[in-house]
Chain A
Amino acid sequence: MSEQQDTDLHRRRFLGQAAAAAGLTIAPGVMLYQVSARPADQAVTSQVRWGMLIDTSKCETGCNDCVSACKTENGWGTTETKSSPRQQAQWIRKVKLTDKQTGHVQSLPLMCQHCETPPCVDVCPTGASMKREDGIVLVDKHICIGCRYCMMACPYKARSFIHEELHDQKPYMPRGIGTVESCTLCVHRVDKDGTPACVEACNAEGHKAMYFGDLNDPNSEISRRLKQYGGEQIRADLGLNTGVRYQGL
């Protein structure tokens, strides 16, 4: 009788351990399935709309972490040696605002606002300035002729023109002479379920002034924050429905 009980005990233990082992083997697959939502051969859809939220009250005047991170990630800032400072590209910049009436001082990062109805896309003669289905506004540099009309039309002065030959570009972020560029919302990272370098750097340093996420998902952190605390567009009167929103403007 005890032999039978011993065997049962052994069986139970074995089954339990086997189940645990099986569970541990499958679990990473289950987790991965939840995290990586879009396979490489699938096109982006408008189900997702990427956006950013910037809490200007947490943004310090002297801090440039987001700008430095963008420079390192995308390879601008030191690559244009022949261009004058006014000709060098700048994808994101910190803007210092002083209210003329009250003297109140604020600081915020300003980059391409990834509008829903971008003026730059409207005016591009070849369609190089384009908006992806998921809301990211990009320049298709293959068909950009370098006319700079989009730079005239952008209400946020977000775009830069490359005034000289470039070398040693980042392989994942091509940029070159005679074409126009701007913040890509780190599309190369976003497509692999990452976050833009600026947001990552801001959070890594603990400032918590920048959030990134899916504006179409009511449960995403960015949507919940926008619902709770509100968020304004810069130049809201233009009716562009920007993807980048600011709190505390």
Chain B
Amino acid sequence: MVFLPRYLSKLVALLGVSLVLALPLTSLAGDLLPSIPKGKGEQCVEPTEIMRRNHMEFLLHQRDDTVHRGIRTTQHSLKECIECHNAPAQDGKVARVGTADHFCNSCHTVAAVNVDCFECHADKPENAQYRHALKGKTE
């Protein structure tokens, strides 16, 4: 047993009680989960679970391939991601990277991970109508 001075042990007890009493407040956590805008088309180029965990790995690998080796496959190209995931809305408006509506931002702000891709890369698509072909299907 650790021997604590009386005032300290009272403080620790107080803290413990407050934490227990605060437990019900976690039900409010639902508001903290990100609301991610839906991309165009029926599905992404990779299954959602795989994309969630590994999208940076795909992008980091692809960027070296494209810049250093001139390989311009579209499966993991950032430009292609933007075409679907940040396509213009019905009214023609496009979410910009600084706002909460932007696909990448919506999750990254909650995860508190900095996205510096858009310091250089365009954050909106070039061609509003274009839709990237999924593997095995033709447009």
Contact = CB atoms under 8 A, between A and B. Distances in A.
Most buried by B among A130, A169, A170: A169
B120 A172 contact: no
A85 interface: no
A132 B119 contact: no
Chain A: interface size category: 20 to 34
Given A141-B120, A174-B120, A41 B70 contact: no
B120 A43 contact: no
Interface stretch (A13-21, A26-34, A117-125, A175-183): A175-183
Contacts of B85: none
Contacts of A179: 120
B126 A172 contact: yes
Nearest to B60: A142
Contacts of B52: none
A175 B117 CA distance: 10
B79 A130 contact: no
A142 B64 CA distance: 9
A249 interface: no
B82 interface: yes
Interface string A129-146: 010111000101110000
26 contacts: A38-B70, A40-B71, A40-B72, A43-B65, A43-B69, A43-B70, A130-B67, A130-B68, A133-B69, A134-B70, A138-B67, A140-B67, A140-B68, A141-B120, A165-B119, A170-B126, A171-B82, A174-B121, A175-B120, A176-B119, A176-B120, A177-B119, A178-B119, A179-B120, A191-B70, A192-B72
Interface of B: 63, 65, 67-74, 79, 82, 119-122, 125-126
Interface of A: 38, 40-44, 130, 132-134, 138, 140-142, 165-166, 168-172, 174-179, 187, 191-192
